[in-house]
Amino acid sequence: MAAVTADQKTQSTSGTAKAAGTEAGPAAGTAPEAADAALLAAFDAAVAADDRIEPRDWMPDAYRATLVRQMAQHAHSEIIGMQPEANWITRAPSLRRKAILMAKVQDEAGHGLYLYSAAETLGTSREELLDKLHAGRQRYSSIFNYPTLTWADVGAIGWLVDGAAITNQVPLCRCSYGPYARAMVRICKEESFHQRQGYELLLALSRGTEAQHAMAQDAVDRWWWPSLMMFGPPDDASSHSAQSMAWKIKRHSNDELRQRFVDICVPQAEALGLTLPDPDIRWNEERGQHDFGAIDWTEFQQVLKGDGPCNEQRITQRRRAHEEGAWVRDAAAAYAAKHTTPSARTAQPAQPAQHVEETA
Amino acid sequence: MSAALALGDDALVLSHRLGEWAGHAPVLEEEVALANIALDLLGQARVLLSLVGDEDELAYLREERAFRNLQLVEQPNGDFAHTIARQLYFSVYQHLLYERLAAGDGRFAELAAKAVKEVAYHRDHAEQWVLRLGDGTAESHERMQAGLEALWRFTGEMFQPIEGLDAAATTAAAATADAADATDASATTGTAGATGADGSGPAVDWAELEGAWLSAVTATVERATLTLPTGPRTGAWAAGAGRQGLHTEPFGRMLAEMQHLHRSHPGASW
């Protein structure tokens, strides 16, 4: 397995991989520009035909960089996203809920692993991506900069945050880059399960004692707007959208997905017996969709900039876990070096993975 | 005291400690592994506590003095080597004990047979890490040795006989003439395990269990180029104190955190 991975890395970074979805590579002796044009044409044709781009296929540098940026951010979100929920593992109010929450946080670590692996097919490495996260050079979802103040927040995260994530991610199951799309199929299945559990947690609170109901309502009040911000800036202010849609990395605009999410949530909130903290939400007969109030984009920008309630805490804990774990990783590497047979050792990748500079 | 309570509390408390690692592990694979072990243990705890009463009442409404877990499992996580030392000592114990319970025909046989597969994985995980840390770098060697030393004193109490476990596990074996036939006999009679509250002679031979544990732990420690600690193994009180509800100071704080939300909403369901 290790050899295969190393091979893929070498291939994907060599720049000589075959053109996407076609056997027609550039003819020998063709000028470089013409060869590039042929590769690009084959790539564009593959994307247009809804073929999957695979690690060994040729792809434009910008496509590669965009994917690395997006997949890294996605992976980082999974592992930073463990923190707000792990905050309640030791205080979960029943053993059943504790087991569900532990399993969920474990799944998130697993999703991080899938996504880092998928990103590595593009010629980067998990270590490199983590270093960038720790240095503040790559982002994670802004939602995880909000604190979990009560047990009900665990339910609100499941229902709203996972709900928004699923709305965003289901279209990614058809993303043009194969490894990403396949990772998303697995992730979306597990996320849907988590979302149902979060909803069910809130339902139990909403139908519980007065204090529990109030706890649930307070959590929904605090998480509603940040969840809507998860879809990103409005379409007219989204810098990456057009290109990502052309490449079929993205399939729907931010505002389209946000609208879809609101339309899903309104009846669910009613069924929960909870209200959404937006007096402007109402059904619009003409549009066949819900109207809703204006998002506070100033707050969004502030959180993105690093000035949200928990930005500092999240990244500090993440860095600390990594730094305090360094001696453990060193030990594992030293042990492996001592106990690996010489033939197995030569199968390790000889060169470090190529550095991919993202445009974040 | 029921044996189910003792074994259930072991699993519950260690699961809680491992849950504290979430988001703090040295590498993502360990986030998955530690949570996985914690979940297995929590699953075992829920089955065992349910044999005694309501799992949540038992977990959330008992005070420190009523818990029957080993002092070993309540010890704070410390660094990764400390956690791994605790895991080695306990997993080897639990694996050997559950193997014996699974082979018998007491009321824990079925439960142990299921759990022993999980525990075999926990044991392997701990042993593999002891090897890597012991035979890794100078720093990891030193930390692993320190972890083994620090927790060594809590290992004696594991082999204090657990009251109730013996009787329940032993009746059918005593009723059958030949030990080799015991498994077949239980399969046909079925009810034998449930009857004997006062069976004679221990089904778990605790001295034999201790010997097996010592030799397994010694083998791993030596393979890891580490030294088996030599200090006393009596625990913070006399050996076996945890089983009598005598715990170490960090345990009360752990329970305060674990129980506070449940206790803040009496009678609520979640």
CA distance A181 to chain B (A): 22
pLDDT of residue B105: 79
Examine the pLDDT at A355 and tell me if it is beyond 90.
no
| Cβ contact A98–B43 (<8 Å) | no
- Taking the C-alpha atoms of residue A174 and residue A184, their distance in angstroms, rounded to an integer, is 9
Residue A131 has pLDDT above 90, yes or no: yes
Residue B261 contacts A, CB cutoff 8 Å: yes
Percent of chain B with pLDDT over 70: 84
Residue in chain B closest to A116 (alpha carbons) equals B28
Q: For the residues A147-159, what does the mean pLDDT come to? A: 98
Query: What is the chain B residue with the closest CA to A98?
Result: B42
pLDDT given for residue A356 in this prediction: 44
Residue A11: pLDDT above 80? no
Q: State the pLDDT at residue B64.
A: 96
Q: Which of residues 174-203 of B touch A (CB under 8 A)?
A: none
**pLDDT truncated to tens, each residue of chain B (270 aa)?**
589 999 999 999 999 999 999 999 999 999 999 999 999 999 999 999 999 999 999 999 999 999 999 999 999 999 999 999 999 999 999 999 999 999 887 888 999 999 999 999 999 999 999 999 999 999 999 999 999 999 999 999 999 888 877 544 444 444 433 333 333 333 333 333 333 334 444 578 999 999 999 999 999 999 999 999 999 887 656 656 899 999 999 999 999 999 999 999 999 999
Going by pLDDT thresholds of 50, 70 and 90, the confidence category of residue A30 is: low
Res A4 pLDDT > 50: no
User: Which of A78, A91, A95 to mutate: most B Cβ within 10 Å?
Assistant: A95
Q: Is B42 on the interface with A (CB under 8 A)?
A: yes
Between chains, do A109 and B135 touch, taking CB under 8 Å as contact? no
What average pLDDT does range A232-250 have in this prediction? 89
- Contacts of residue B182, Cβ cutoff 8 Å, sequence gap at least 6: B104, B105, B172, B173, B176
Residue B142: CB partners within 8 Å, gap ≥ 6?
none
Q: What whole-number distance in Å separates Cα of residue A175 and Cα of residue B205? A: 60
Contact A115, A52 (CB under 8 A): no
B131: chain A residues, CB-CB within 8 Å: 335
How many Å apart are CA A31 and CA B99, to the nearest integer?
71
| CB spacing of A89 vs B20 below 8 angstroms | yes
- β partners of residue A221: none
CA distance A358 to chain B (A): 23
Q: What average pLDDT does the segment A307-327 reach?
A: 97
CA distance B36 to B122: 9
Residues of B in contact with A321 (CB under 8 A): 23-26
SS3 of A87-145: the string is CCHHHCCCHHHHHHHHHHHHHHHHHHHHHHHHHHCCCCCHHHHHHHHHCCCCCCCHHHH
* pLDDT at position A29: 52
B69's CB contacts (< 8 A; 6+ apart) are B6, B9, B10, B12, B13, B14, B242, B247
Mean pLDDT, chain A, whole residue set? 88
Instruction: Evaluate if residue A24 carries a pLDDT over 50.
Output: no
Is residue A133 very low, low, confident or very high in pLDDT (cuts 50, 70, 90)? very high
pLDDT at B238: 62
* Cβ distance of A93 and B261 shorter than 8 Å: yes
Q: Which two tokens stand for residue B76?
A: 């704070």
Lowest model confidence (mean pLDDT) among A9-13, A135-139, A311-315, B106-110? A9-13
Tokens encoding A126 = 């998990």
Tell me the shortest Cα–Cα distance from B72 to chain A, in angstroms.
Answer: 19
The partner residue sitting opposite B25, judged by closest CB among A325, A327, A339, is A325
- Give the pLDDT score at A10: 33
Position A23 confidence tier, pLDDT thresholds 50, 70, 90: very low
Tell me the shortest Cα–Cα distance from B172 to chain A, in angstroms. 33
Contact A204 B39 (CB under 8 A): no
**Residues contacting B155, CB < 8 A, separation 6+:** B72, B89, B233
Min Cα separation B50/chain A (Å)? 11
Residue of A nearest to B26 (CA): A325
For B247, how many CA atoms within 13 A lie in the half-sphere containing its CB? 23
Of A82, A102, A335, the CB nearest to B131: A335
Is-contact B24 A102, C-beta < 8 A? no
Phi, psi of A141 (to 5 degrees): -60, 135
Whether the CB-CB separation of B77 and A116 falls below 8 Å is answered with no
